[in-house]
Amino acid sequence: MSAPELDFVPVPVPRPNGRARGTGTTAIAREAAPEDQAAAAAPSMRRLREDRERLRALTVAGHEPAIERQHGLGKRTARERLEMLLDDGSFIEIEMFRRHQAHGLKLGGNRPATDGVVAGSGTVYGRRVFVYAQDFTVFGGSLGQAHASKIHKVMDLALENGAPLIGLNDSGGARIQEGVMALDGYGGIFRRNVEASGVIPQISVILGPCAGGAAYSPALTDFTFMVRDTAQMYLTGPDVVEAVSGKRVTHAELGGADVHGGRTGVATFVYDDEETCLEEVRYLLSLLPSNNVEPAPAAARTGATADERPRLAEIVPVEPNKPYDMRQVITELVDDEEFIELHENWAPNVICAFGRIDGEVAGVVANQPMVLAGVLDADAAQKAARFVRFCDAFGIPLVTLVDVPGFLPGVDQEHAGVIRHGAKLLYAYCEATVPRIQVIIRKAYGGAYIVMDSRSIGCDLSLAWPTNEIAVMGAEGAVNVLFRKELIAAADPAALRTELIEEYSAQLMHPYYAAERGLVDDVIDPARTRSVVARGLEMLREKRKPAPRRKHGNTPL
């Protein structure tokens, strides 16, 4: 029989005043009780800390074979993406150890930490953002109840803290084994997308599959980025399409980045690789306010109010039918010749872009004479309307560059609802309360002139170049309508037509016709466009126009 185990128990030595102190102890020996033996076997703080670090390291490291498969698909992991997106060392993760609570159907014994989504907060150029990144290496990034709850939490935190929300999407969709709870999780995401709309900027980045109901969240956010070859978005996949229609189609053909970037307009930006894509997300964030009550981040003044750009007088041809690239005009207008264009390949007959003018962020809407002569059509009207509404929601001034011959005529456009879609742009401008400056470069004909932020629908400052032509229609078309009978009866119709066109232009389309009637504030030297616009924005910086009391208007959706 072994000797009884001894345990040394520190006993406080009384102070003279009777109070115990923690130093200067004596020791007594006694036989250890069973409960003391259990305490001795319990883990120490050091061991608990080591266990915690070990579990944390395993969670961060992930499953190596799954990571290799992810890299083999040309994709980064969720954590690698967050490292590229956020400032170094700024990420604060929430609910790292969250696991699903489902049972059966191959789920009960497979409960990895994170549940397929990494969520938290970090900074971009020192400014707070909230972010979640779906992890395709865990359950294919599929969304279950725990996964959705983490996204709900980070969305709530973004809204409560007035900070942008970024979602990095790479998911196989709803987790089938969790049934209706997965669908309920998607519903919670959509509801929060709508609650945050117009309050904080919301950005979706599609870096892999985003199928079924999952596609609706990017559609509800403000900007959607996609990466070629790896990103796909659709409601029903190729197998379902083939089963229903008999048509075979690839993932890329059905919902690839180029489809959504050039045909559907779902993707705002499309890039060739994840590195470029995430760097451009950072750049876009540098131009956006954190929320709807804070101004967009300003840069240093650039002296734009006194800056003349002679090249502006050379870019635009005087002849109204000669094309030119409106991007060159925008380049001369903005600071450092730098801007970011939205939906570059969708409805390219209108340009929507963010840039800075004298350090302040502005939204630019411009007709593009290089494409369809710059006409407005159904897609262009939708594109510009959504951009105008975003700028107005977040207090970003609008500069509208006008060179538009009208709306695109044709049966296809009428049947596509060009009236309804054109009304969206009209509604967006009429509703906007931010500073609004219109610059009429050349043509401004018919209803398209009105829709492109004319004085009649509320622009604050209307400027025009000496090349401006503001009229119901072009002179030749007007003469053909007004003098049809005279031209038919004329001995020399061509000569009469030329004479009438010159007369019509001289009377109704000279550069100062609208200015004489108060519809244009000034006819400016093209070379001074940048300085005049900068001074106008400075003048309008404190503009305040309260919205009428109503629940909301009824936008012509």
Report, as residue numbers or ranges, the catalytic residues. 212-213, 447-448
Q: Which pair of tokens denotes residue 124?
A: 């971009």
Contact (Cβ atoms closer than 8 angstroms) between residue 105 and residue 177: yes
Other CB atoms within 10 Å distance of the CB of residue 466: 13
Q: Nearest Cα to 267, choosing from 333, 312, 222, 202?
A: 222
Q: Give the separation between CA 514 and CA 495, rounded to whole angstroms.
A: 29
DSSP assignment of 495-536 equals HHHHHHHHHHHHHH-STTHHHHTTS-SEE--GGGHHHHHHHH
Q: Is the dihedral of CA 68, 87, 285, 531 positive or negative?
A: negative
Q: Is 169 helix (H, G, I), strand (E, B) or coil?
A: strand
Instruction: Kindly report each contact of residues 472-480 with a partner whose C-beta sits within 8 Å and lies 24 or more positions away, as own/partner.
Output: 472/445, 472/446, 473/406, 473/445, 473/446, 474/320, 474/405, 474/443, 474/445, 475/501, 475/504, 475/505, 475/509, 476/501, 478/504, 478/508, 479/504
Q: Nearest Cα to 167, choosing from 135, 134, 209, 127?
A: 134
The residues facing 132 across adjacent strands are 119, 167
Contact (Cβ atoms closer than 8 angstroms) between residue 447 and residue 406: yes
Q: Nearest Cα to 499, choosing from 472, 484, 479?
A: 479
Which segments of 349-451 are extended strands (E)? 350-357, 360-367, 398-404, 436-445
The position carrying tokens 């999780």 is 185
Q: Is the dihedral of CA 285, 291, 292, 297 positive or negative?
A: negative
Quick one: angle between helices 78-85 and 274-285, nearest 10?
40
Q: Is 462 helix (H, G, I), strand (E, B) or coil?
A: strand
Q: Is 179 helix (H, G, I), strand (E, B) or coil?
A: coil
Contact (Cβ atoms closer than 8 angstroms) between residue 342 and residue 278: no
Q: Is 229 helix (H, G, I), strand (E, B) or coil?
A: coil
Q: Give the separation between CA 66 and CA 56, rounded to whole angstroms.
A: 18
Contact (Cβ atoms closer than 8 angstroms) between residue 508 and residue 479: no
Q: Are strands 436-445 and 398-404 parallel, antiparallel or unpaired?
A: parallel
Q: Are strands 232-234 and 165-171 parallel, antiparallel or unpaired?
A: unpaired
CA 535 distance to own-chain centroid: 28
